[in-house]
Amino acid sequence: MAQIIRSSPVLAFIGLQICFIFFASTLTCTSGSEDSYTITGRVKIPPSNVIGHTAKFSNVKVILNGGDKITFLRPDGYFTFHKVPAGTHLIEVSAMGYFFSPVRVDVSARHRGKVQATLTETRRSLTEMVLEPLKEEQYYEIREPFNVMNIVKSPMGLMVGFMVVVVFLMPKLMENIDPEEMKQAQEEMRRQGVPSLTSLLPSAGASR
């Protein structure tokens, strides 16, 4: 019971958060005089797990029609374009570390500036103008953590590994062979005159 009581403020907080997301999130409000309307929206960046970029609203730009108008985000993530004529427009969000789909925005002249928004990449239409990144962008390759296998796999590692096998495992293998057979094989070898490793080295050859 005590546990539940203790966790209730947390629950309340989460509830509040959800409320905030659902109710406080934006309405594509438009008002306008004559032929110019207002597009209001909100950019929401989820808290990032990737090290290196935190969601900083001060570095986010919202771009209308390929640079015709540029605006910035308020601390709560809202943005507004003023004096937009009726027609079909394109809104892009430029935020380092995130990829946003461009948004097709139809401002209707007939319905007093009613705004319809569609993500052009996923063709998903938005009921409210809340723009969320499609994906996070990592600009750097991630270095693979230190791994013995990587070294072993590299050509030099393979060379060293082969040498180790020859030096340490081969004698072991030799030992496992029956001494009688070994002796026979060695005698055979001697008879055939197969040079041993020693004789391959010039200094060894000279010492013989």
Partner 1 sequence: MAIRVFLVLVLFLSSAIVSFSLYEDQAGLADWHQRYIGKVKHAVFHTQKTGRKRVIVSTEENVVASLDLRHGEIFWRHVLGTKDAIDGVGIALGKYVITLSSEGSTLRAWNLPDGQMVWETALHSAHHSKSLLSVPINLKVDKDYPITVFGGGYLHAVSALDGEVLWEKDFTAEGFEVQRVLQPLGSTVIYVLGFVNLSEAVVYQIDSKIGEVVAQKSMVFPGGFSGEISSVSSDKVVVLDSKKSILVTIGFIDGDISFQKTPVSDLVENSGNAEILSPLLSNMLAVKVNKRTIFVKVGGEGKLEVVDSLSDETAMSDSLPVADDQEAFASVHHEGSKIHLMVKLVNELDNVLLRETIQMDQHRGRVHKVFMNNYVRTDRSNGFRALIVMEDHSLLLLQQGAIVWSREEGLASVTDVTTAELPVEKDGVSVAKVEHTLFEWLKGHVLKLKGSLLLASPEDVVAIQELRVKSSGKNKLTRDHNGFRKLILALTRAGKLFALHTGDGRIVWSMLLKSQACERPNGISLYQWQVPHHHAMDKNPSVLVVGRCGSDSSAPGVLSFVDVYTGKEITSSDIGHSVVQVLPLPFTDSTEQRLHLIADTVGHVHLYPKTSEALSIFQREFQNIYWYTVGADDGIIRGHVMKSSCSGETADEYCFTTRELWTVVFPSESEKIISTLTRKPNEVVHTQAKVNTDQDLLYKYVSRNLLFVATVSPKGAGEIGSVTPEESSLVVYLIDTITGRILHRLSHQGCQGPVHAVFSENWVVYHYFNLRAHKYEVTVVEIYDQSRAENKNVWKLILGKHNLTAPITSYSRPEVFTKSQSYFFAQSVKTIAVTSTAKGITSKQLLIGTIGDQILALDKRFVDPRRTLNPSQAEKEEGIIPLTDSLPIIPQSYVTHSHRVEGLKGIVTAPSKLESTTHVFAYGVDLFYTRLAPSKTYDSLTDDFSYALLLITIVALVAAIYITWALSEKKELSEKWR
Residues that bind partner 1 (CB under 8 A): 38, 52-53, 57-58, 61, 63, 65-75, 80, 82-85, 87-90, 92, 94-97, 99, 101-102, 104, 118, 120-121, 137-141, 143, 145-146, 151, 154, 156, 159-160, 163-164, 166-167, 171, 186, 196-198, 201, 204, 207
Can you tell me the distance from the alpha carbon of 45 to that of 100, in angstroms, rounded to the nearest whole number? 10
| In the complex, least distance from residue 5 CB atom to partner 1, rounded to whole angstroms | 38
* Nearer of residues 23 and 146 to partner 1, judged by Cβ: 146
One-letter amino acid at 150 equals N
Considering the complex, state which of residue 25 and residue 138 has its C-beta at the smaller distance from partner 1. Answer: 138
Give whichever of 24 and 76 is closer to partner 1, judged by the CB atom.
Answer: 76
CB of 12 to partner 1, least distance (A): 29
Q: How many residues does the chain have?
A: 208
Three-class SS of residue 138? Answer: coil
CB of 184 to partner 1, least distance (A): 14
Which amino acid, residue 10?
A: V
How far CA 1 is from CA of 5, 7, 13, 78, in Å, comes to 6, 10, 19, 41
Cβ 137 to partner 1 shortest distance, Å: 4
| Closer by beta carbon to partner 1, 4 or else 76 | 76
Shortest Å, Cβ 60 to partner 1:
10
Residues 6+ apart with CB under 8 A from 113: 30, 31, 32, 37, 38, 86, 107
Phi, psi (rounded to 5 degrees) for 61: -120, 145
Nearer to partner 1 by Cβ, of 83 and 111: the residue is 83
Phi-psi region of 67 (alpha: psi -120 to 50; beta: other; left: phi over 0): left
- 190 within 8 A of 184, measured Cβ to Cβ: no
CB 146 to partner 1: min, Å: 4
Nearer to partner 1, 9 or 66 (CB): 66
Picking from 43, 139, 158, 19, the residue whose alpha carbon sits closest to that of residue 91 is: 43
